């Protein structure tokens, strides 16, 4: 027995080093030596043999699987931060194999995915495969979905037997087509997470006609965007050596429609919105995010004045921000001009305080057009009244309570009682929505509301 002890002794550090490369090696070799020495009772020998068999079987299976994976399967990798992930996940959620999956993640289905705001079920759940490998059939092929869960994310892989990846490409193409169909007439809103873009919401397109502003200004911006996005424009810019990008600055008091207009603009031109909060990212992250923008999109920088990228002469904003690791003015200007900035992007900046922005930020080239969003004047108040009370063509036949002439008369009356440019359109709209059942009530109570709101 002593000789076994001596013979099987390994220096601990030596053992652990081998174990790092081949886990369980030292244990297996010790057992093998005992077996070979042949001085064990038969029960222990059987146990050792079984243990060694299991260990090697494990390695053999892993080894064979690795060979199969490398030389006999094709795989498509889908990163969590790519939109292809959303496409695949949406498709998977509707597949029958989900019901038999052994490891699932439950999510409350947000209405933005399905677009069904009127679902009868409160907080409906969806289940998706999670953290594991799942087999399923697709067009007669056996495919394997691998969900690799990392710290804040889950990457997906889909594998098929054989070296031809065409069935996998067909699958991803089908996911893409379904996704495009599901997201039609919707605007995808992306935000930054962990320094990467990630789709955060899907918003219904708001018709641009519902954003009330000076019609001439609205038409001018719409025409400008349309011209910019024209197919031949990119080469037109390139031939003249002009960077192919466009910028708009929307300024005015809170609640005047700046965000609503940005969203409508995106919907109107079927563009996605990439929105950034400059206060919680660094210059380096900003540069990376801009470099990863797709070619045709809107980048929305909301409330740029609050991000600490104000005027250079008022405070030493750059120095102050460097310490907070937020974006600096020079960092922002570099990104807006720099080569890393994606061609074809439309920048929309919004602010409540244009006077606090540095001239460099709002000069043409960075902000090509500046649009002033005003507080409600008579025209805006009248149109808001129409928005709430005018009956839509499909409602007219079934329930025409008030005809158009009546509503127009009441709208004029209502607007005349609201002082010019004192209230924001958001405030007027909120007042009207509280009385949406009766236009007469809205007109009769507006004066007391104004008097109360003003003091």
Ligand X SMILES: Nc1ncnc2c1ncn2[C@@H]1O[C@H](COP(=O)(O)OP(=O)(O)OP(=O)(O)O)[C@@H](O)[C@H]1O
Residues that bind ligand X (CB under 6 A): 211-213, 254-260, 352, 373, 425-426, 429
Minimum gap (Å) between residue 255 Cβ and ligand X: 5
Question: What is d(CA 210, CA 341) in angstroms, rounded to the nearest whole number?
Answer: 32
Residue in the structure block whose two tokens are 């409350």: 108
Minimum gap (Å) between residue 207 Cβ and ligand X: 11
Minimum gap (Å) between residue 206 Cβ and ligand X: 8
Q: Which two tokens stand for residue 97?
A: 């194999």
Q: Which is nearer to ligand X, 258 or 435 (CB)?
A: 258
Q: In what order do the strands lie in the sheet with 154-161?
A: 73-78, 154-161, 141-149, 132-138
Which residue number places its CB atom closest to ligand X?
257
Q: Which two tokens stand for residue 394?
A: 């499909």
Q: Which is nearer to ligand X, 387 or 445 (CB)?
A: 387
In terms of Cα–Cα distance, which of 345, 337, 331 is closest to 248?
345
Q: Which is nearer to ligand X, 49 or 430 (CB)?
A: 430
Minimum gap (Å) between residue 373 Cβ and ligand X: 6
Q: Which two tokens stand for residue 29?
A: 């070799």
Minimum gap (Å) between residue 257 Cβ and ligand X: 3
Question: What is d(CA 14, CA 36) in angstroms, rounded to the nearest whole number?
Answer: 22
**How many other C-beta atoms are found inside a 10 Å radius of the C-beta of residue 121?**
8
Structural Rg of the chain based on CA atoms? 32
Q: Which residues, other chains included, contact 57 with Cβ-Cβ below 8 Å and sequence gap of 6+?
A: none
Angle, in degrees to the nearest 10, between helices 439-454 and 425-434? 130
Q: Which is nearer to ligand X, 182 or 377 (CB)?
A: 377
Question: What is d(CA 444, CA 211) in angstroms, rounded to the nearest whole number?
Answer: 26
Q: Which is nearer to ligand X, 255 or 308 (CB)?
A: 255
Minimum gap (Å) between residue 391 Cβ and ligand X: 18
Q: Which two tokens stand for residue 372?
A: 């002033």
Q: Which is nearer to ligand X, 37 or 433 (CB)?
A: 433
Minimum gap (Å) between residue 316 Cβ and ligand X: 27
DSSP-based three-state secondary structure for 235: helix
In terms of Cα–Cα distance, which of 340, 383, 337 is closest to 360?
337
Question: What is d(CA 363, CA 373) in angstroms, rounded to the nearest whole number?
Answer: 19
Cβ–Cβ under 8 Å, residues 300 and 350: yes
Question: What is d(CA 108, CA 110) in angstroms, rounded to the nearest whole number?
Answer: 6
Q: Which is nearer to ligand X, 143 or 384 (CB)?
A: 384
Q: Which residues, other chains included, contact 46 with Cβ-Cβ below 8 Å and sequence gap of 6+?
A: none
Q: Which is nearer to ligand X, 133 or 352 (CB)?
A: 352
Minimum gap (Å) between residue 328 Cβ and ligand X: 23
Q: Which is nearer to ligand X, 310 or 425 (CB)?
A: 425
Minimum gap (Å) between residue 420 Cβ and ligand X: 15
**Burial class of 263 by CB neighbour count within 10 A (0 to 12, 13 to 18, 19+):** buried
Minimum gap (Å) between residue 350 Cβ and ligand X: 6
Integer angstrom CA distances of residue 425 from 6, 274, 341, 432: 89, 25, 35, 10
Q: Which is nearer to ligand X, 54 or 217 (CB)?
A: 217
Minimum gap (Å) between residue 234 Cβ and ligand X: 30
Q: Which is nearer to ligand X, 211 or 293 (CB)?
A: 211
Rounded to whole angstroms, the maximal C-alpha distance in the chain is: 109
Question: What is d(CA 123, CA 200) in angstroms, rounded to the nearest whole number?
Answer: 18
Q: Which residues, other chains included, contact 109 with Cβ-Cβ below 8 Å and sequence gap of 6+?
A: 123, 124, 125, 126
């Amino acid at each position: 027995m002593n000789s076994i002890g001596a013979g099987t002794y390994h220096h601990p550090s030596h053992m652990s080093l081998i174990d790092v490369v081949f886990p369980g090696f030292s244990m297996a070799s010790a057992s093998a030596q005992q077996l070979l020495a042949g001085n064990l009772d038969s029960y222990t020998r059987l146990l050792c043999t079984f243990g060694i068999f299991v260990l090697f079987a494990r390695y053999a299976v892993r080894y064979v699987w690795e060979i199969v994976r490398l030389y006999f399967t094709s795989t498509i990798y889908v990163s969590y931060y790519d939109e292809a992930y959303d496409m695949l996940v949406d498709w998977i959620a509707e597949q029958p194999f989900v019901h038999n999956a052994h490891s699932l993640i439950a999510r409350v289905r947000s209405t933005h995915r399905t677009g069904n705001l009127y679902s009868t079920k409160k907080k409906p759940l969806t289940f998706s495969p999670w953290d594991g490998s799942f087999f399923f059939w697709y067009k007669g092929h056996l495919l394997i979905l691998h969900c690799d869960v990392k710290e804040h994310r889950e990457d997906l892989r889909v594998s098929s037997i054989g070296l031809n990846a065409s069935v996998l490409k067909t699958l991803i193409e089908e996911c893409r087509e379904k996704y495009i169909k599901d997201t039609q007439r919707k605007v995808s809103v992306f935000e930054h997470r962990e320094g990467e873009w990630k789709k955060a919401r899907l918003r219904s397109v708001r018709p641009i006609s519902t954003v009330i502003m000076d019609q001439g200004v609205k038409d001018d911006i719409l025409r400008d965007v349309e011209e910019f996005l024209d197919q031949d424009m990119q080469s037109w810019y390139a031939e003249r050596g002009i960077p192919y990008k466009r910028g708009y600055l929307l300024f005015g008091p809170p609640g005047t429609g700046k965000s609503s207009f940005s969203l409508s603009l995106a919907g109107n031109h079927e563009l996605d919105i990439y929105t950034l909060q400059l206060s919680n990212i660094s210059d380096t992250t900003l540069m990376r995010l801009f470099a990863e923008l797709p070619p045709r999109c809107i980048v929305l920088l909301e409330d740029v004045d609050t991000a600490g990228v104000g005027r250079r002469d008022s405070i030493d904003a750059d120095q102050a921000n460097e310490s907070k690791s937020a974006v600096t003015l020079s960092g922002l200007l570099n990104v807006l001009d720099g080569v890393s900035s994606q061609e074809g992007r439309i920048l929309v900046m919004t602010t409540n305080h244009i006077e606090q922005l540095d001239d460099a930020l709002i000069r043409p080239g960075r902000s090509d057009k500046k649009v002033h969003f005003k507080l409600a004047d008579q025209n805006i108040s009248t149109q808001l009244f129409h928005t709430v009370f005018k009956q839509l063509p499909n409602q007219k036949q079934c329930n025409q309570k008030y005809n158009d002439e009546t509503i127009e008369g009441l709208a004029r009356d209502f607007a005349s009682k609201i002082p010019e440019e004192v209230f924001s359109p958001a405030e007027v709209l909120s007042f009207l929505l509280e009385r949406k059942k009766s236009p007469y009530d809205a007109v009769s109570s507006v004066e007391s509301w104004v008097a109360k709101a003003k003091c």
